Amino acid sequence: MRIIAKRALREFWEKHHDAEIPLKTWHKIVEKQKWVNTYEIKKLFGNASIIGNNRVVFNIKGNDYRLVVYVAFKMQKLFIRFIGTHNQYNKIDAETI
């Protein structure tokens, strides 16, 4: 999967240093995948939440942070839509962000 854009992850870990290694690890794993459906995501990331509109929520650093992505399976791209704390996540609509 091609991740658009790693810059969002980097900007986040520059503010939240404890998220750097978990986000880099997540990125390294995901960029090697060729997912064709959400079942394959759940096989690899059992604690990921599949929500509407092709959005997936990943728990980062033991669920300290939430990462919302839009998955375009046919294009093999994954778009970062949100990365933040639980409190920040609770203030968004993850299906439309």
pTM score, whole prediction: 0.94
Above pLDDT 70, what percent of the chain? 100
31: domain CATH number is 3.30.2310
Q: What is the pLDDT of residues 3-36, one digit of tens each?
A: 999 999 999 999 999 999 999 999 999 999 999 9
Is position 94 within any domain?
A: no
With a CB cutoff of 8 Å and minimum separation 6, the contacts of 72 are 54, 78, 79
Is position 17 within any domain?
A: yes
Domain total of the chain: 1
d(CA 39, CA 12): 28
Range of the domain at 11: 2-89
Is position 95 within any domain?
A: no
Q: Give the Cβ contact number of residue 75 at 10 Å.
A: 11
Q: What is the pLDDT of residue 52?
A: 87
pLDDT at 79 over 90: yes
- For the chain, give the mean pLDDT: 95
